[in-house]
């Protein structure tokens, strides 16, 4: 891939140059010292991937990400000092379309080698996303059907945190369904994401743990790099399989598991994101008679996953972001849907 670096610190730029030099399959496209220059350079010479710092003069990484995704969209990885301390800014940048975040590698032979591995791993995952990777269609053995309840299964990727916050904020505190979210995010940031979403939601939000059961009026968020699935007895759990699935945690894997296991009313929702994860799983849900929703192009930070769903005919409804919570409330207040019947 052709990779651009956006950072105002020469030592950080040099550290990233050295990391990229260890991966000959990637090229350095250009370096920008701040967000203003990055937006201009992307307009003239769009790279495959931008390594974007968060805190810079003239224009920070959040605003630069927003403008690049609006004007010259490409993959963006936040690379900044201490992502955990800057979790709020990281989620804001992801809400504008950034895919993920990683700590800046430190300059110096030992530190650079130590910091190279997580950065290169993130770059490799994004390279697979851009190439659309492989969608693994294998499934685990059939699971027992779960009791008839109501479930909203939501998948999201780039732009997802802000989109998820918008959907959750629009749900009433009396919302009668369980909500389970699979967002492409590094496991290190999952606790911060759950805490951040809880500030926008009238419903309680927590990370899904092994053994949890979805319950009405509660939001569970996938919390590891393994895939969230239904296991025996209606409990949620995590599995590394399929191990070669590029999306981790995978929306398709969760949707497939819900399709096999959930016997009650289910609404599948696919929000903004790069690639196609979740599109095939959403189609499987619709083919079983479940209601499905995809975010529309106009309100998607990255119109990849919902676009793929629309192309497959996977979505019963294609809606702007601010209409999704309203539609969920309408649907799950419907006696026909509560019985598992889609009109």
In a domain, 70, yes or no: yes
pLDDT band for 149, please (50, 70, 90 cuts).
Answer: confident
Q: What is the pLDDT of residue 141?
A: 35
Domain that holds residue 265: 150-338
Same domain as 154, residue 195: yes
CATH number at residue 203: 3.40.50.180
Angle ∠(265,227,294) on CA atoms, nearest 5 = 45
Buried b (16+ CB within 10 A) or exposed e, 189-207: bbebbbbbbbebbebebbb
Average pLDDT, the chain: 87
Among this protein's residues, is 277 annotated catalytic? yes
198 in the same domain as 116: no
> Do the domain assignments include residue 135?
no
136 is a domain residue: no
- Mean pLDDT across 277-283: 96
Asked if residue 139 is part of any domain, the answer here is no
Tell me, yes or no, if 184 is annotated catalytic: yes
pLDDT given for residue 134 in this prediction: 38
| Total count of domains within the chain | 2
Spatial CB neighbours of 243, under 8 Å, sequence gap ≥ 6: none
Shared domain check, 267 and 195? yes
Q: Is 11 among the domain residues?
A: yes
Task: Supply the DSSP symbol for 171.
Answer: S
Is the pLDDT at 253 greater than 70? The verdict is yes
Q: How many residues does the chain have?
A: 343
Closest CA to 247 of 165, 161, 157, 116: 157
* Kind plus residue range of the DSSP H or E element containing 335: helix 335-338
| Mean pLDDT of the 91-113 span | 78
* Segment 44-57, tens digit of pLDDT: 999 999 999 999 98
Is 343 marked active-site?
Answer: no
192: left (phi over 0), alpha (psi -120 to 50) or beta: alpha
CATH code assigned at 93:
3.40.50.2300
Q: Give the single-character DSSP code of 211.
A: T
From 26, 60, 100, 157, active-site residue:
157
Query: 26, 34, 53, 184: which is the annotated catalytic residue?
Result: 184
Over residues 106-139, the pLDDT tens digits come to 766 454 445 688 899 899 888 887 764 433 333 3
Question: Are 313 and 170 contained in the same domain?
Answer: yes
Can you give the pLDDT at residue 115? 62
Residue 308 sits in the same domain as residue 221: yes
Q: Alpha helix locations (H) across 181-297?
A: 190-198, 251-261, 279-287
> Looking at the domain assignment, is residue 211 inside a domain?
yes
DSSP reduced 3-state for 102: strand
Q: Which of 100, 252, 277, 296 is catalytic?
A: 277
- Let me know whether 97 and 237 are in one domain: no
Report the candidate in 7, 12, 1, 11 with the shortest Cα–Cα distance to residue 37: 7
Do 300 and 170 lie in one domain? The reply is yes
- Residue with structure tokens 């995952």? 125
In this structure, the answer to whether residues 276 and 234 fall within a common structural domain is yes
User: Do 236 and 269 have their domain in common?
Assistant: yes
pLDDT per position as a tens digit, 11-56: 999 999 999 988 889 999 999 999 999 999 999 999 999 999 999 9
Q: Please give the model's pTM, rounded to 2 decimal places.
A: 0.76
The per-residue pLDDT for range 312-325, each reduced to its tens digit, is: 999 999 999 999 99
Percent with pLDDT over 90 in the chain: 69
């Amino acid at each position: 891939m052709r990779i651009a670096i956006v950072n105002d610190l020469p030592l950080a730029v040099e550290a990233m140059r050295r990391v990229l030099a260890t991966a000959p399959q990637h090229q350095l496209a250009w370096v920008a010292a701040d967000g203003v220059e990055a937006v201009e350079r992307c307009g003239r010479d769009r790279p495959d991937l931008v390594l974007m710092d968060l805190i810079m003069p003239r224009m920070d990484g959040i605003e630069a990400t927003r403008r690049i995704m609006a004007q010259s969209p490409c993959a963006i990885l936040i690379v900044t000092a201490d992502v955990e301390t800057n979790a709020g800014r990281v989620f804001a940048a992801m809400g504008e379309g950034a895919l993920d975040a990683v700590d800046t590698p430190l300059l110096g032979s030992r530190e650079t080698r130590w910091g190279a591995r997580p950065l290169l791993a993130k770059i490799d995952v994004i390279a697979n996303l851009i190439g659309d990777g492989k969608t693994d269609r294998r499934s685990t053995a059939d699971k027992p059907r779960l009791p008839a309840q109501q479930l909203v299964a939501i998948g999201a990727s780039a732009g997802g945190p802000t989109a998820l916050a918008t959907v959750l904020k629009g749900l009433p505190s009396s919302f009668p369904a369980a909500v389970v979210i699979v967002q492409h995010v590094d496991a290190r940031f999952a606790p911060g994401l759950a805490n951040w979403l809880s500030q926008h939601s009238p419903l309680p939000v927590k990370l899904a743990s092994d053994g949890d059961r979805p319950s009405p009026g509660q939001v569970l968020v996938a919390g590891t790099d393994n895939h969230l699935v239904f296991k025996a007895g209606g409990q949620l759990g995590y599995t590394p399989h399929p191990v070669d699935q590029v999306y981790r945690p995978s929306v398709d894997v969760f949707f497939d598991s819900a399709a096999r296991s959930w016997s009650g009313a289910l609404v599948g929702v696919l929000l903004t994101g790069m690639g196609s994860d979740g599109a095939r799983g959403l189609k499987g849900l619709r083919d079983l008679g479940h209601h499905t929703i995809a975010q529309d192009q106009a309100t998607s930070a990255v119109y990849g996953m919902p676009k793929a769903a629309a192309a497959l005919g996977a979505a019963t409804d294609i809606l702007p972001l601010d209409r999704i919570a309203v539609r969920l409330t309408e649907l799950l207040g419907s006696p026909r849907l509560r019985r598992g019947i889609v009109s």
